[in-house]
Structure 1
Amino acid sequence: MILKSKDSRQEDIQELNRLLGLNLSAKQRFLVDRELKCLQSGDRNEQNSAYYLDFRYKDSANWAVIHDLRIEHRGRVAQIDHLLINRYLDVYVLESKNYYYGIKITPEGEFLVWNGKGYQAIESPIEQNARHIQALQLSIEDRNLAPRRLGFPIPINYRNVVLLAPTSKIIRPDKAPFDLSSVVKADAFVSYIEQIMDKKSIIEAPKIVGSDALRDFAEKLVRLHRPGTFDYATKFGVSEQQPAATTPAPQPEKGQPVPTAAGHKGCQQCGAAVDKKVVYFCTINKARFKGQVLCRECQKSLPGEEK
């Protein structure tokens, strides 16, 4: 069952496009454009991950799916891409990442991405997701949201999973300081879950809650959602007083005729077509041409002009 879908980021995309229409500095334009591309890329990646989750679990009464859950608690903010909860109260906290060229993990547990020229170190998505789990766990404990049995809260098992795009390449070391099996391609995640479920012990059976209790718990988590607001103008130091960027008028290719200037029927002496450059030249030389718009030939015919 799906309890929450992903929030639309269309307003953010529109705002970034609006800022790009202003007269930005080169640095501001680069930063705004990069933010827009990252937003659109991340949005597509989360939608792709959501597709695999929804396809498998949307009709299941044994699983609850929550997309795009943003929690604020004790000064912490957690932007959780996806939550998947089963009746064992296994809470899979899924961090969806889009690494275009894939990812490489060193034996020391460092995460590297290829930038087209070489490998670049990035923040560990596992550690990033661990902070999300901490914020979620505190929110649940402080509000006593966990399902109860005989008056006591049932223990919740939090699982940290990083989802990568199906096209991403994952290079893992032979040995690592922590379990890397939780770094999974989105299209392989369902198989990953099934392997875990196959290993469930009968000892865990008493933890199982009913479908109604699962839904009630998931709905309580959805009510924790606090949509974020972004002031992109302030973030990138863009003044609302900055004028809109102007696009220079296209210049005709060499050897091509120049169109007649709009608003002018032609030369006021011979009626020949005139272009914008002629109109402009006559405008700044009103005294010489007595306020008339004259073609180049008629300009030459005036007294004192070059024949």
Structure 2
Amino acid sequence: MILKSKDSRQEDIQELNRLLGLNLSAKQRFLVERELKCLQAGERNEQNSAYYLDFSYKDSQNWAVIHDLRIEHRGRVAQIDHLLINRFLDVYVLESKNYYYGIKITPEGEFLVWNGKGYQAIESPVEQNARHIQALQMSVDDRNLAPRRFCFAISINYRNFVLLAPTSKIIRPEKAPFDLSSIVKADAFVSYIDQIMDKKSIIEAPKLIGSDTLRDFAEKLVRLHRPGSFDYAAKFGVAEVEGANAVSAPPVVAMPEAPTYGPDTDAPANKPACRNCRNENLTIVYGKFGYYFKCGVCDGNTPIKITCGKDGHNERIRKEGQKFFRECADCGSSKLFFVNP
């Protein structure tokens, strides 16, 4: 049973696109565009994870599914991507992550992601999710929300899981300071849960609650939801002057993960080619230092240069239909350079 779907972020996307229509500095425009791309990428990743959960559990009376639960309690805020609850009161707290190149975990438990040039340390998603669980548990305990039997609260087992995109690569060490089985690809998570349920002991049977009790408990958690609001103008230091002229800027869209060059009547005369082998079978990749072409033959990288060629100017990628333009955020010059068939 699905008791809450993901909240729409269209208002946030519209607000960020509105800010892009204002007269921003180059730094502000870069930060707003980056925020918008991260928001859109996160939206897609959470939707993908939700698809696998909904497909398996939407018609089940033994499982309750809650998406996008935001809790405020004792000064703590927890933004939980997904909650999956069964009749044994196993509460799976799921954190969805989208690491384009995958993730590497060191023997010391450090999380690293590849940015196209080298590994970069990131915050542990396991520890981040553990804080979400702590806030959720405190909210349940302080409000006495746990189902009861013979006047006693039934114990709840909170489980910490991180869901990665099915295309992400996971590099695990032979030994780690915590259980790495909690890091699972989204498409394999349901099978993993099935294995856990098959190992349930008959000793746990007395803990089993009814479907109505499960629904009642999950609905209580849904009522804890407090939608968040973001003042993006304040976040990026955008001073909106009444009556000020706005500049026309097309909405920024997330780049396709692997577009390929295709023929088009309006395509540039010269196709982009790998600087190493001159191969024209290229894809666009976004890394730490901006967009670059990835060669499908020699695996080489070819940076996309600034259109205007002026030092200190910042580049952005603009999409119109299936056409992609290199555009200078400072002087406005642009040039068609890529067509997605």
- Shorter-chain TM-score bucket reads 0.7 to 0.9
3-state DSSP of counterpart to 2:117: coil
Provide the rounded CA distance (Å) in 2 between the counterparts of 1:26 and 1:110. 34
Q: Which residue of 1 aligns with 2:208?
A: 208
Counterparts of 1:128-167 in structure 2, within 5 Å, are 128-167=128-167
Provide the rounded CA distance (Å) in 2 between the counterparts of 1:29 and 1:106. 35
Provide the rounded CA distance (Å) in 2 between the counterparts of 1:219 and 1:46. 21
3-state DSSP of counterpart to 1:181: helix
Q: Which residue of 1 aligns with 2:304?
A: none
1:213, CA displacement in angstroms? 0.1
For structure 1, which runs of at least 5 residues remain unmatched after alignment?
Answer: 248-307
1:223, CA displacement in angstroms? 0.2
Question: AA paired with 1:217?
Answer: F
3-state DSSP of counterpart to 1:70: strand
CA 1:91–1:246 in 2, change beyond 3 Å: closer, same or farther?
closer
Q: Does 1:87 align with 2:49?
A: no
1:220, CA displacement in angstroms? 0.2
Identity, % of aligned pairs? Answer: 88
Deviation by residue 1:13-42 (Cα, 9 ceiling, x = unmatched): 000000011111111011100000000000
- Superposition TM-score, scaled by structure 1 size: 0.80
Provide the rounded CA distance (Å) in 2 between the counterparts of 1:239 and 1:68. 31
Q: Does 1:184 align with 2:184?
A: yes
Q: Which residue of 2 aligns with 1:100?
A: 100
1:244, CA displacement in angstroms? 1.3
Deviation by residue 1:210-233 (Cα, 9 ceiling, x = unmatched): 000000000000000000000000
Provide the rounded CA distance (Å) in 2 between the counterparts of 1:31 and 1:231. 14
Select the structure of larger CA radius of gyration: 1
Q: Which residue of 2 aligns with 1:27?
A: 27
Q: Which residue of 1 aligns with 2:233?
A: 233
Cα RMSD of the aligned pairs, angstroms, is 0.8
3-state DSSP of counterpart to 1:161: strand
Question: AA paired with 1:75?
Answer: G
Runs (4 or more) in structure 1 with deviation over 3 Å come to none
Question: AA paired with 2:111?
Answer: F
- The structure in which a higher percent of residues are strand is 2
1:141, CA displacement in angstroms? 0.2
1:199, CA displacement in angstroms? 1.1
Q: Which residue of 1 aligns with 2:113?
A: 113
Provide the rounded CA distance (Å) in 2 between the counterparts of 1:27 and 1:176. 40
Question: AA paired with 1:243?
Answer: N
Provide the rounded CA distance (Å) in 2 between the counterparts of 1:146 and 1:82. 19
Q: Which residue of 2 aligns with 1:258?
A: none
Q: Which residue of 2 aligns with 1:4?
A: 4
Provide the rounded CA distance (Å) in 1 between the counterparts of 2:198 and 2:179. 19
Deviation by residue 1:220-269 (Cα, 9 ceiling, x = unmatched): 0000000000000000000111631257xxxxxxxxxxxxxxxxxxxxxx
Q: Which residue of 2 aligns with 1:221?
A: 221
3-state DSSP of counterpart to 1:92: strand
Question: AA paired with 2:228?
Answer: G
Deviation by residue 1:28-84 (Cα, 9 ceiling, x = unmatched): 011100000000000000000000000000000000000000000000000000000
Query: How many residues are matched?
Result: 247
Provide the rounded CA distance (Å) in 1 between the counterparts of 2:108 and 2:195. 27
- The structure in which a higher percent of residues are helix is 1
Q: Which residue of 2 aligns with 1:282?
A: none
Q: Does 1:243 align with 2:245?
A: yes
Q: Does 1:17 align with 2:14?
A: no
Provide the rounded CA distance (Å) in 1 between the counterparts of 2:207 and 2:199. 15
Question: AA paired with 2:66?
Answer: I
CA 1:246–1:212 in 2, change beyond 3 Å: closer, same or farther?
closer
Question: AA paired with 1:8?
Answer: S
Question: AA paired with 2:246?
Answer: A
Question: AA paired with 2:151?
Answer: G
Provide the rounded CA distance (Å) in 2 between the counterparts of 1:188 and 1:243. 51
Deviation by residue 1:92-132 (Cα, 9 ceiling, x = unmatched): 00000000110000000000000011000000000000000
Counterparts of 1:10-89 in structure 2, within 5 Å, are 10-89=10-89
3-state DSSP of counterpart to 1:187: helix
3-state DSSP of counterpart to 1:95: strand
Provide the rounded CA distance (Å) in 2 between the counterparts of 1:133 and 1:194. 22
